[in-house]
């Protein structure tokens, strides 16, 4: 007699991927949380790169530094939420040594990158030393782009989230 054993499917794994994990309680108002960090998309105040860097630094944050595909995806998805096709400043620059891109706050080299098609193309204009998230219309999405630092884009600030949010006055 043959025994047919059925192995119950104990765990049904439903893989969903939104790339967005809101942990708002750990972030200040209007900041969006993802994987231990909080991000502010300052969509009403486009400014040049230096002003964007200063704006974030003034709050004790940094102009966003994207280290992973997951973080990049989170930033891109959130940028799309605002439904305008525009640019956002990222915290990268090659102003110190043209062609050598670093994250300006942490002073570390860019390891992960997501350059748009043909970017960085500063070799053609020789004055694009600041990194932004730029909407490539033909691709219907955002990519990284080296751009003129005096252009006006929207800052994205980043700072670590605090479990419980106590330092932000929220419990």
Q: Is 145 among the residues that bind Ca ion (CB under 5 A)?
A: yes
Which of residues 26, 65, 72, 94 is near Ca ion by CB under 5 A?
A: 65
Q: Which of 77, 55, 56 is nearest to 133 (CA)?
A: 77
As measured in angstroms, the least distance from the Cβ of 147 to Ca ion is 6
Q: With binding defined as CB under 5 A, does residue 128 bind Ca ion?
A: yes
Q: How many residues bind to Ca ion according to rule CB under 5 A? A: 6
Smaller CB separation from Ca ion, 48 or 121: 121
Which of 26, 72, 94, 146 lies at the binding interface for Ca ion (CB under 5 A)?
146
121 lines the binding site for Ca ion (CB under 5 A): yes
Minimum distance from CB of 169 to Ca ion (Å)?
24
Binding site for Ca ion (CB under 5 A): 65, 119, 121, 128, 145-146
């Amino acid at each position: 007699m043959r025994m047919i054993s059925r192995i119950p499917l104990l765990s049904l794994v439903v893989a969903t991927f939104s790339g967005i994990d809101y942990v708002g309680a750990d972030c200040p108002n209007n900041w969006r949380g993802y994987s231990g960090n909080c991000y502010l998309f300052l969509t009403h105040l486009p400014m040049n790169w230096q002003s964007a860097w200063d704006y974030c630094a003034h709050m004790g944050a940094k102009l966003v530094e994207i280290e992973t595909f997951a973080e990049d995806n989170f930033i891109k998805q959130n940028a799309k939420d605002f439904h305008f096709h525009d640019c956002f400043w990222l915290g990268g620059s090659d102003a110190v040594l043209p062609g050598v891109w670093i994250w300006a706050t942490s002073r570390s080299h860019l390891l992960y990158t997501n350059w748009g098609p043909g970017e960085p193309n500063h070799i053609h204009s020789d004055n694009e030393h600041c990194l932004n998230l730029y909407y490539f219309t033909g691709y219907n999405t955002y990519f990284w782009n080296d751009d003129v630092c005096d252009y006006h884009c929207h800052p994205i600030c980043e700072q670590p989230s605090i479990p419980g949010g106590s330092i932000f006055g929220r419990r």
